[in-house]
Amino acid sequence: MLLLVGLGNPGAKHAGNRHNIGFMAVEAIARRYNFGPWRKRFQGEAAEGDIDGAKCLALKPQTYMNNSGAAVGEAARFFKLTPADVVVFYDEIDLAPGRFRMKKGGGAAGHNGIRSIAASAIGADFRRARLGVGHPGQAELVHGYVLSDFHKADSDWVAALLDATAKAAPLLVKGEDEKYQTEVMRLAPAGKADPRKSPADA
């Protein structure tokens, strides 16, 4: 079983937030591969399916971002998963909008959802799918920025990135994270811009 976790905050008011791009990514994957219906499970919403013969569970913790580890830990324990069986999709302010990077383990870099999973669930060595949303430019603006909706001008690159993460998912289930990263960026190219500048400013 591969656990595909999308990070975000529950509720309609957060649905379009930059902080919720993780939710959007696992929803795109579940749609593309015709996963079963979303059900309340593991303190979250979960949908089961398979990608190229590999059994997968998409999970959107409903515990709010800062307590994401409670939901992930519960699911990981239930299925007796190792960190290699867990991929977490989340917003990354230190990557330019539309950029995508896979990473295994490491620190939380100020992301409370990642910190919660590392602290209370399966340790820090899980796989991370980092979706670049850009940076507002000043540390004190970050909180408001990630809890704000994407601008209309962002809709094209957001849609392209989400579609690419879903389309390339067979590489992810094979454990080929580097190839997955390369394929996502091939399908949804985004320049290595300064994360503090939006594509709309270019």
Per-residue pLDDT of the chain (202 residues; tens, 9 = 90+): 999 999 999 999 999 999 999 999 999 999 999 999 999 999 999 999 999 999 999 999 999 999 999 999 999 999 999 999 999 999 999 999 999 999 998 887 778 899 999 997 688 999 999 999 999 988 899 999 999 999 999 999 999 999 999 999 999 999 999 999 999 999 999 877 777 765 444 3
Contact indicator for 195, 101 with CB cutoff of 8 Å: no
Task: Give the pLDDT confidence score for residue 172 in this predicted structure.
Answer: 97
Domain 2-201 is found in CATH 3.40.50.1470: yes
Alpha helix stretches (DSSP H) within the chain: 21-32, 68-78, 112-120, 142-146, 155-167, 169-173, 177-187
Task: Give the pLDDT confidence score for residue 156 in this predicted structure.
Answer: 95
Task: Give the pLDDT confidence score for residue 200 in this predicted structure.
Answer: 47
Which residues touch 81 (CB under 8 Å, ≥6 apart)?
A: 1, 3, 75, 122
**In the beta sheet, which residues pair with residue 45?**
40, 60
Classify 105 in phi/psi space as left (phi over 0), alpha (psi -120 to 50) or beta.
Answer: left
Task: Give the pLDDT confidence score for residue 148 in this predicted structure.
Answer: 95
Task: Give the pLDDT confidence score for residue 24 in this predicted structure.
Answer: 98
Instruction: Please state the domain extents for the chain.
Output: 2-201
Task: Give the pLDDT confidence score for residue 174 in this predicted structure.
Answer: 96
CA-angle at 99, arms to 60 and 82, nearest 5°: 45
Structure tokens at 73: 């830990």
Closest CA to 32 of 69, 58, 70, 66: 58
Active-site residue, from 14, 19, 143, 151: 19
Task: Give the pLDDT confidence score for residue 121 in this predicted structure.
Answer: 62
Whether 19 is a known active-site residue: answer yes
Task: Give the pLDDT confidence score for residue 197 in this predicted structure.
Answer: 64
Task: Give the pLDDT confidence score for residue 179 in this predicted structure.
Answer: 98
Q: Which residues of 14-48 are buried (b: 16+ CB within 10 A; e: fewer)?
A: beebbbbbbbbbbbbbbebbebeebeebbbbbbbb
Quote the CA–CA distance of 188 and 168 in Å, as a whole number: 11
